[in-house]
Structure 1
Amino acid sequence: MSNVNEYKDIVAYHPGYYIADIIEDMEISQAEFATRMGTTAKTLSQLINGQANISNDLAKKLSTMLGTSVEVWQNLQNTYDQKLIEIQHAKDVDAQAELAKEIDYKYFVDVIGLPIARSINEKVANLCKYFKVADLRIMLQPDFLVNFRSSASCNNEKNIINSRAWIQTAINISKSIETKPYNAEKLKGYLPELRGMTVKKPEEFLPRMREIFAECGVAFVLLPHLKNSGVNGAVKWVSEDRVVLAMNNRGLDADKFWFSLFHEIKHVLQQKIKTVFISSTVEEMKDINDKLEIEADKFATNYLISPADYKRLVPTRYTSDDEIVEFAKRIGIHPGIVAGRLQHEGVIAQNRCSKLKEKYVIEIKHIA
């Protein structure tokens, strides 16, 4: 260990650095200086080499021996300690800067209202404050917010930190949403009304949807997509009486929107308080609870189009658009959801039914 620590333009001088100069000026050996000071040669050597700090006792001995105040030596130690903190902070910021470059900072300026940053260091500071972390690297830790599938190929820090940034943003925004205590039975009772909203426009169903969720103890957050996050939706319990259900507005085909919504609703109803569910487009980042995911997929599929109704349709690759529209009308659901189901199951070609698969346009204004 050296008695001088440097990083970029920051230099920290240990008190031992000055003691070494004094010994040289006195033209005596370290052993003799130690004797005159009333300490051991080992203690003095550690002090000179920056391996030990100046105690109050050593500061008193030095002040008496050299005719200085005790505060001189205490201040040298304090200054050194502060400089070490400054150096470590600079190193930490530089390490975090590489992570910050992977995050679309403009997203947080436009959506959340974070201040425009003049430097990467400001970006790091602003993001840490918003995410409530001491270091951006903490967001890469396995136990931060959500556990992903363990895989040798799951080393994409860009996807991981952006997915967690998106989830944390949803959690932060949810704090401004007032909800009643969670009530599973009430939520189940509203499911038919939510399903019936599939035939309405977003500007009609979104306000009512938010009311329903809030009434049931669910803070519903719809966020713009964050580049490289790979997140379609997430469910996180913030207490036993309150849960956050978050979705993004990327690629909002009606069928994908409603399937994703009912998928997340099932995760809410599963009521796994200690589990964060994440729906992701990145395979290695999907939730580790396979059984619960399969259950949520099955629920969304069968609630939107019941097995009995689907059987009555008797779908084939020859099923026409008019037949799909008529069937959707009979069961009170958006025809795009029916078309999407048939495409997903390989019954009809992916390039079919483009006119039936409505794409929602949901503008999300500044939500700070």
Structure 2
Amino acid sequence: MINEDRNEYVPDYAVPPGDVLEYELELRHMPKSELARRTGLSEKHINAIVKSRGSASITPETAIKLERALGMPAEYWLNLEANYREACARLAEHGELEQGLDWLQRVPVAEMTKLGWLPRHRDKKDQLVEVLRFFGIASATQWEQMWPRLAVAYRQHTKQKLCNIAVSAWLRKGELDAEHIDCAPYDKAAFRTALDEVRPLTAATDPACFVPKLQGRCAAAGVAVVFVPALPKTGVSGATRWLHPQKAIIQLSLRYKSNDHLWFTFFHEAGHILLHSKKALFLETVNGTSTNGPGINHPGIDNMDEQKEAEANAFAEQELIPQRAFAKFASRGTFSKAAIRNFAVAQGIAPGIVVGQLQHKGLLPHTHCNDLKVRYRWTHEDNADAARNPSA
């Protein structure tokens, strides 16, 4: 068979060294019994090499004996053996990859290659190998073992359906990115302090300014913050889990691309880190009409998981806007843009965060004051727009 991506020939068969040995003996009209006497090997062992179709291997010791008896270098026999074993392994791998092609069809390869997570291959088996490398697994079977159940505490609309493979790919990309962030060992008190230092960053509008500061301050406390675009059929906005007991990950997708959703999700995930188990995976998903904060449906979650989500929501609300101050502001009943801006300045946060909380609590229509929110775009989206409209 020919590998088109690498333009090289890969044989779809394997020649056992015993076949070559049998051929050489026939050329010399040498019975196996004679070779046994010349080498000191038993005739049974010679027969095992010749007739076992590779189940009996040629060891370095045997290769030396064959070199002396037949005049063919030991390296020749050892290379035959090595090439045969490699060919057998590749043929077995070929069959295993065939079985994994059905699984590959469920992987969002097109989106992952578009985002630069994977190289693109025309050959399906080569593409499967790249996907397996991405997940860090040997075969599709291992995916089932690594991601047996994406059972998590999550905020999800009842009509939203998760694609487990797409979700796992998004989470895996977060793991890979987090590995490149050098973190100090996790320190709960240091992370609590880091959150106080991060809060003023919510008033910043330029991600190029606040993202490195956010990541740096959290990394100093043992938490890697990564931004990974959401894949289709995931609906994810954020996730929290631990790489190991000394390093946590907060993963954000910018699904709704506004500062109120971004910062609420960040502090919600931070709440999970401070309040809940290191063994848990918390995945936050919301549909396009949902708002941040509590009060969102939780299908399929037990009461304990609901409690954890409520605790994380309450933590995020308090961290962003102290609830006593918010209650006093909310008691006005009417909210002008000027009033929202003034309150935000007094609290040291972005006006869009105040708008988001007012909208969530039903105090402000979702159609009002959205221009006070800051919107974000991924770099790859800007590049795609530029490619479609070069004059823009």
Structure 1 residue 361 and structure 2 residue 377: aligned?
yes
**One of 326, 344, 348 as aligned partner of 2:342:** 326
Residue 232 in structure 1 maps to residue 237 in structure 2: yes
1:86 CA drift (Å): 7.0
Counterpart in the other structure of 2:280: 275
Query: Residue by residue, what CA displacement relative to the aligned partner does 1:277-332 show, whole Å, maximum 9, x if unpaired?
Result: 21123766889832222111110012111111111113566322222222212212
What does residue 182 of structure 2 align with? 178
Q: TM-score, normalised by structure 1?
A: 0.70
Q: Secondary structure of the residue that 1:237 maps to in structure 2?
A: strand
Matches of residues 289-300 of structure 1 in structure 2 within 5 Å? 289-300=305-316
- Structure 1 residue runs of 5 or longer lacking an equivalent are 1-9, 13-59
Query: 1:363/1:286 Cα in 2 relative to 1: closer, same or farther (>3 Å)?
Result: farther
- The alpha-carbon deviation at position 228 of structure 1 amounts to 2.1
The answer to whether the 8 A contact 1:197-1:205 is kept is: yes
Measured in 1, the distance between the counterparts of 2:195 and 2:160 equals: 39
Q: In the alignment, which residue of structure 2 is the partner of 1:336?
A: 352
- Of the three residues 267, 270, 274, the one matched with 1:265 is 270
SS of 2:352 mapped into structure 1: helix
- Write the letter of the residue equivalent to 2:180: S
Aligned equivalents of 2:365, 2:285: Cα separation in 1: 24
Deviation sequence 1:239-269 (CA, Å, 0-9, x none): 2221121111332111000000000111121
Q: Cα distance, 1:144 vs. partner?
A: 4.3
Matching residue of 1:308: 324
The answer to whether structure 1 residue 70 and structure 2 residue 48 are counterparts is yes
Equivalent in 349, 354, 357 of residue 365 of structure 2: 349
Q: Secondary structure at the match of 1:165?
A: helix
Aligned-partner Cα distance in 2 for 1:212–1:173: 17
The 1:71–1:213 alpha-carbon spacing in structure 2 relative to 1, beyond 3 Å, is same
Whichever residue aligns with residue 251 of structure 2, its letter is A
**Following the alignment from structure 1 to structure 2, what is the Cα–Cα distance between the partners of residues 355 and 276?**
34
**Which residue pairs with 1:130 in the alignment?**
134
**Alpha-carbon displacement from aligned partner over 1:25-44 (angstroms, at most 9, x marks no partner):** xxxxxxxxxxxxxxxxxxxx
- What is the distance in 1 between the residues matched to 2:319 and 2:208? 23
Give aligned-pair identity as a percent. 24
Instruction: Quickly say closer, same or farther: Cα 1:170–1:124, change in 2 above 3 A.
Output: same
- Partner of 2:292 in structure 1? none
Quote the RMSD (CA, aligned, Å): 3.8
Mapped to 2, the partners of 1:257 and 1:91 lie a distance apart of 45
* CA deviations over 1:51-81 (Å, ceiling 9, x no partner): xxxxxxxxx99x89xxx933333117689x9
Q: How many residues align?
A: 303
Distance 2:51 2:263 in 1: 69
User: Which stretch of the first structure deviates more once superposed, 122-131 or 288-297?
Assistant: 288-297
- Asked if structure 2 preserves the Cα contact closer than 8 Å seen for 1:149 and 1:285, the reply is no
TM-score normalised per structure 2: 0.66
Conserved 8 A contact 1:223-1:364: no
Q: Distance in 2 between matches of 1:162 and 1:115?
A: 17
* Equivalent of residue 102 in structure 1, options 99, 102, 106: 106
**Aligned CA distance change for structure 1 residues 286 and 122 (closer, same or farther; 3 Å):** farther
Separation in 2, partners of 1:70, 1:163: 51
Decide whether the 8 Å contact of 1:145 with 1:276 is kept in 2: no
Which residue pairs with 2:216 in the alignment? 211
CA distance in 1, matches of 2:103, 2:328: 53
Q: CA deviation at 1:103?
A: 2.7
Deviation at 1:203, TM superposition (A): 1.9
Q: Does 1:197 align with 2:201?
A: yes
Structure 2, unmatched stretches of 5+, are: 1-11, 15-41, 58-84, 288-297, 382-392
